Copies of this chain bind each other. A is one copy, B any other.
Amino acid sequence: MSIFKKHAFICSSGKTCPTQGSVEIMQEMKNMISDLGLKQQIRINKAGCMGQCGDGPIMVVYPEAVWYANVQLADVAIIVHQHLIAGEPIERLYYHPKQEK
């Protein structure tokens, strides 16, 4: 029942990520997907706090459950092209939780 091939959620209303630039990053990623005409297949979504505060901006891409931490504006293009379009996650941006959950 997959509606989107890739569904990315970016914390944009939590307490810390928005102070680290997450809203701008989400908007830039959203614009890029829109400009590429991929809105029906790839959804960039606002999300509330995802419980990983301090390592933001945090995002997660489903259905593969790939988490990225400290995402910067300069990372948006590679995430879009290499991961969301080409399907190859970016290892150097992986989120490494401080403790096993």
Residues of chain A at the chain B interface (Cβ within 8 Å): 1-4, 7, 9, 12-13, 39-41, 43, 45-52, 60, 62-67, 94-95, 97, 101
A47 touches B50 (CB 8 A): no
Which residue of chain B has the shortest Cβ distance to A66 in the bound complex?
B1
Majority DSSP secondary structure for residues of A touching B = loop
**Residue from the list B41, B47, B63, B66 in contact with A64, Cβ < 8 A:** B63
Copies in the complex: 2
- Quote the shortest CB–CB distance from A2 to chain B (angstroms): 4
Whether A47 contacts B101 by the Cβ 8 Å rule is no
What separation, in Å, do the CA atoms of A13 and B94 have in the docked complex?
28
Please state if B2 and A65 are interface contacts (CB–CB under 8 Å).
yes
Min Cβ gap A19→B in Å is: 17
A62 and B3 contact, CB distance less than 8 A: no
Q: Identify A48's interface contact among B12, B40, B60, CB under 8 A.
A: B12
